[in-house]
Structure 1
Amino acid sequence: MVSKKFSRRNSSDRKKSFFKKKPFIFLVGLVLGMGVVAAAYLTSVYFSTDESCMMCHVHPHVEDSWKISTHVNNGSGVKVHCVDCHLPPKNDTWDHYTAKLQLGLKDAWGYFTKDSADFDWDLKSELEHAVKYIPNQSCKECHQNLFPEGITPDGITAHLYYDENEKKLDLQCISCHLDVGHHNPNYTHGKLTGIPGQDGGAVVDPSMYFKEATVVTSFENYTEEVPGTAVSFNMIAVPGGSFRMGSPAKEAFHKADEAPVRNVTVSPFFMAEVEVTWDQFWAFYGQTMSEGRTLPADVYANNSDPDVDAISGPTPPFGFPDQGWGSGDRPAITMTHYAAETFCQWLSMQTGKKYRLPTEAEWEYAARGGTETPYFFEGNPKDFSGEGFMRKFIAAKTEPISEYVIYGANSKNRTQEPSAVKANPFGLKNMLGNVMEYCADKYSPEAYAKTAESVTDPLATEGEEWVVRGGNYTSDAADVRVAARDFTKHDQWLKTDPQQPKSIWWYSDIRGIGFRVVCEPGSVGL
């Protein structure tokens, strides 16, 4: 048996030996620790270079568009790198490195598990995607002076408004400056380069202008030719009739404001085959544009005068209303209800006919095209909708809805030209989806209950907001049902407008809104 004395001595010797080695172990540990820290730092530095970013983001939009952007080519000589925009500033150490870790893991996962050829890069370049990856504090870190030399008066107005209302608006710099980090030739901040006759916009040869409006002698489809412009568009003769307006409680995604279902009769009318296009709206703008920021009171007084022979039209908008998606036959968007009504007033004056916005009853009657189903084509909204728990496992059907409707599942997050869809039974295109359309009615959730069970040519005149119908390019299939109702959100849609008073012509915070016109047969002697 080993004595306790010997055991204690042996233990003591081991402790002395350990403590003699401890400085060495500590030194080795310190060196290794410093090496790990240095390696991590060098790795972090390397993966913060533009070259390392380009390894994962293998598509032309990133590198090529970045190199020709104002963040690289500018008078200051400062070259803004990927991490300068896509990560919080380094002085926010915790936010910077946690965001870097999260994005790095996401990029690495995508690089090894996904094929970049399958990505919709145009969609990823849109504002809705960009705001997720551009921390606002990074913009403010570089641009501490919001009023640099050379800023335009409109820029001063906008930046003052941002400076005073940043927290209330929850507005990010990228919302207005989408083109600065990655050049987009279709997006021009603060310039109206697509308007015919302005800043490089195509100028139409005056010899191509129509001299007279189309003469209508019977209740048949016709093509309107607008005198003094090169604009023409198709009008569809919609026969009068009766229908069941609204939706029954058993219809999928039915909402309370779609009831009670009523028997509604509408008189015959002409309706535009498609929504008012940019070509049509710019013709109106070019002939009626108000110089400067005309006071609303002056505009209202002029346009409400029955003896007026010249319409006061829109003032120049901030930014570019078509969002860089293209003009031409795409539906005109972002105008206010008042702007749409003024367009109708101008069109009436130009053609000698009575053009106006459709009533809500006319709109739904036309959209149904003689059908009584949720859509004017076959299909159950539950099958088309992307809503619901099961959609995480089973994809929604996209046929036949995609043949007739531009909506959230097929729009690529932007409006499309009318040729992208088929017409409804009346020959009307884009009644559902693409852009929401203004109606002549004021909105009330109880509007249907306030009238008789059977009614002829109803028009709601009480309410604060206007009815909009049809859903738009961001909508779920549930919200492009024929009976689905919506309304303007005037103050919300003007939230970021820096003008005082705010614009009566252009909305700053809604893109999927437009309109189509109807013509009264009585105005052409029918």
Structure 2
Amino acid sequence: MTDNRFAKRYSSDKKRSFFKGKSFILLLGILFGAGIMIAAYKTSVYFSTDESCMICHVHPHVETSWKLSKHVNNRSGVKTHCVACHLPPQNNTWAHYSAKAKLGLTDVWSYLTKDSADFNWDSKSELEHAVKYIPNESCKECHQNLFPEGISNDGVTAHLYYDENEKKLNLQCISCHLDAGHYNPNYVHSKLTGIPGADKVSASDSSKFFTDTVRLTSFSNYTEQIPGTAVSFKMIAIPGGTFEMGSTEKEPFHKADEAPVRNITLSPFFMAEVEVTWDQYWAFYGNTMSEGRTPPEKIYANNSNPNVDAISGPTPPFGFPDQGWGGGDRPAITMTHYAAETFCQWLSKKTGKKYRLPTEAEWEYAARGGTETPYFFAGNPKDFSDQGFWRKFFDAKTDSISSYVIYSKNSRNKTQEPALVLPNAFGLKNMLGNVMEYCADKYNPEAYSKSSVNEKNPLVTEGTEWVVRGGNYTSDAADVRCAARDHTKHDAWLKTDPQQPKSIWWYSDIRGIGFRVVCEPDASLGAK
């Protein structure tokens, strides 16, 4: 009996010792830790579902466009979920979960503190925004074979180019497949067939076509009409004169290539009221389009004065170069400088006048409209610009500049029709903003310092890139000053072009580029 009582007492003491000892605390810690891990895992799994993503992502098209996309609506029946595209692959644990935590907290904060009605969802669907939220490694995690059975020849060419240049050019899959995860009816990555809007003007409408061009009898504004088309556009008579070109260090956001200020004298010229529109450019495209790559110098080699039919125009672009924003009076965009020059040659032959691109001096003279201030309207660039420390606390002014300029603050990240802005004193619209405009000059950052203080009708012919002026719809107010200079970035603007050789007609990686034309007046008009 004594031994039995002792055994029971020993067993009871041992249990009490265990529950009070370190072993029990360790076991509780393990169980508690395991519980937390399981709960965290379950929470992570739930917040990785498509349904949980939709809680915060309330923009109207997100779920519908996803269900219509090839990531859901495809022949294989495979559904690609939100986290598969928007987070790094799970095999990179730290990158996956740190990105998930960062984006999750950002989304929750935005959901609680911001009004979704104020967001520009169209701009957030575009490439510049999308690249921030779609890791390229996630695309490659699923699409490990870039040359699957059934791929087209164009697809093979494009993927070979990607495979060889991914790291060097920082190429991303969505640069060519932006609509893979969210369907966009306006996005097409294949060669354009036909002319957008061509069905609006059929053969039965030929009575609307102009049969002759406008004959000029005086140096005054006129409306040009292109024979064989229903397209017309207004030209403004710009009187000759002398002006101060460039800016001084006193001008806010002045840059070195804008100095020194020079006195430039210009002969009179006509300039288009607005940038070349899609209606004008598609008329050119329809008249001259070809599959060839015949540059102008070869056309003129054996014929110093070729007829209209001898001018070879653009090859079909990939997708819709208007980005689905609309054609009509909107400025034509994404063409190369070479294509713009060819347009001028075609227009000259069609009308019998001498059309060309403006020189840089003509462009600035016309943009200023007789003023000597940063803009052709009143205002300080510092008040309009988003640059500077105080912009973190106070919004930039937009009242007066928005009446004259389509720029980052009012463009909604796309080009706009010229009717939305007021003209300058010469009657020209969109000289600042909307799209950058090609000039006839080569770009040289030291062009001003290497030239004379007083010049007449200057033209820079040495350089690699071309001058572009005016800024575009994405520009800050600092970059749409009359004196602000910029230039083409030819290789960068063709980065994702899959063709070999690359297109000489269309840029693949710049949208806010266009041009306007000038016309040289005949001496008989007596222009001064």
TM-score (norm 2): 0.92
Partner of 1:463: 463
Equivalent residue, structure 2, for 1:474? 474
Task: Name the SS of the counterpart of 1:60 in structure 2.
Answer: coil
| Residues 303 and 311, structure 1, Cα contact 8 Å, conserved in 2 | no
Question: Do 1:65 and 1:184's aligned partners in 2 also have CA atoms closer than 8 Å?
Answer: yes
Q: Which residue of 2 aligns with 1:313?
A: 313
- Could you tell me which amino acid in structure 1 is paired with residue 402 of structure 2? S
SS in 1 for 2:215: coil
2:255 counterpart residue number: 255
1:18 aligns with 2:17: yes
Q: Determine if contact 1:216/1:524 at 8 Å carries over to the other structure.
A: no
Structure 2 SS opposite 1:363: helix
Distance in 2 between residues matched to 1:66 and 1:251, nearest whole Å: 48
Residue 318 of structure 1 and its aligned partner are, at CA, apart by: 2.5
- What letter is aligned with 1:126? E
2:115 match: 115
Distance in 2 between the 1:219 and 1:374 partners? 29
Name 1:274's counterpart in structure 2: 274
| Residue number in structure 2 paired with 1:238 | 238
Instruction: Determine which of 298, 302, 306 is the counterpart of 1:301.
Output: 298
In the other structure, the counterpart of 2:436 is: 436
CA contact (8 A) 2:72 2:78 kept: yes
Q: Deviations over 1:321-356 (max 9, x none)?
A: 222222221111111111100000000011111100
Letter in 2 for 1:451: S
Hey, what does 1:211 align to over in structure 2? Answer: 211
Determine the C-alpha separation between the residues in 1 that align with 2:200 and 2:166: 38
Provide closer, same or farther for how the CA distance between residues 196 and 124 of structure 1 changes in structure 2, counting only shifts above 3 A.
closer
**Residue of structure 1 in register with 2:367 after alignment:** 367
Aligned equivalents of 2:74, 2:366: Cα separation in 1: 53
RMSD of aligned Cα (Å): 2.1
User: What displacement does 1:191 show?
Assistant: 4.5
- 1:39 to 1:237, Cα distance in 2 relative to 1, 3 A: same
Structure 2: which amino acid aligns with 1:18? Answer: S
Instruction: Report what 2:336 is aligned to.
Output: 336
Checking the alignment, whether the CA contact within 8 Å between 1:277 and 1:331 is kept in structure 2 is: yes
Question: What SS does the corresponding residue of 1:242 show, helix, strand or coil?
Answer: strand
In structure 2, distance between residues paired with 1:521 and 1:275: 19
- Identify the residue that residue 77 of structure 1 maps to in structure 2: 77
Pick which of 207-216 and 280-289 moved more: 207-216
Q: Relative to structure 1, is the Cα distance of residues 94 and 524 closer, same or farther in structure 2, using a 3 angstrom cutoff?
A: farther
Question: Equivalent residue for 1:43?
Answer: 43
| Contact in 2 for aligned 1:188/1:319 (Cα 8 Å) | yes
In 1, Cα distance between equivalents of 2:92 and 2:396: 43
Gapped runs of 5+ residues in structure 1? 1-12
Question: How far, CA to CA, are the matches of 1:395 and 1:42 in structure 2?
Answer: 43
8 A contact 1:211–1:228 mirrored in 2: yes
Q: Is the 8 A contact 2:294 2:312 kept in 1?
A: no
* TM norm structure 1: 0.92
Alignment of 1:371-410 (within 5 A): 371-410=371-410
TM-superposed CA distance for 1:525, in Å, is 5.7
Q: How many residues align structurally?
A: 509
Q: 1:149 to 1:96 in 2, by over 3 A?
A: same
1:303 CA displacement: 4.9
Q: How far did 1:263 drift?
A: 1.5
The alignment-based identity, stated in percent, is: 75
Question: Kindly tell me: are residues 148 and 282 of structure 1, through their superposed partners in 2, closer, same or farther at Cα, counting changes over 3 Å?
Answer: farther
Shift of 1:90: 1.8
Describe the SS at the equivalent of 2:438: strand
Cα distance in 2 for partners of 1:174, 1:523 equals 53
Decide whether aligned partners of structure 1 residues 82 and 72 sit closer, same or farther in structure 2, where only a CA change above 3 A counts.
same
Q: Which letter does structure 2 place at the counterpart of 1:308?
A: P
Structure 1 residue 430: deviation in Å? 0.4
Which is worse superposed, 212-221 or 398-407?
212-221
Q: What is aligned with 1:6?
A: none
- Residue aligning to 1:10: none
CA distance in 1, matches of 2:193, 2:128: 23
Identify which range, 498-507 or 70-79, moves more after superposition: 498-507
* Amino acid of the structure 1 residue aligned with 2:444: S
Task: List aligned pairs for 1:136-147, cutoff 5 A.
Answer: 136-147=136-147
User: 1:151, 1:210 → 2: CA distance?
Assistant: 45
| Structure 1 residues 223 and 457, CA gap change in structure 2 (3 angstroms) | same
- Please name the residue that 1:184 is paired with: 184
Checking the alignment, whether the CA contact within 8 Å between 2:406 and 2:432 is kept in structure 1 is yes
The alignment status of 1:347 with 2:347, answered yes or no, reads yes
Amino acid at match of 2:440: A
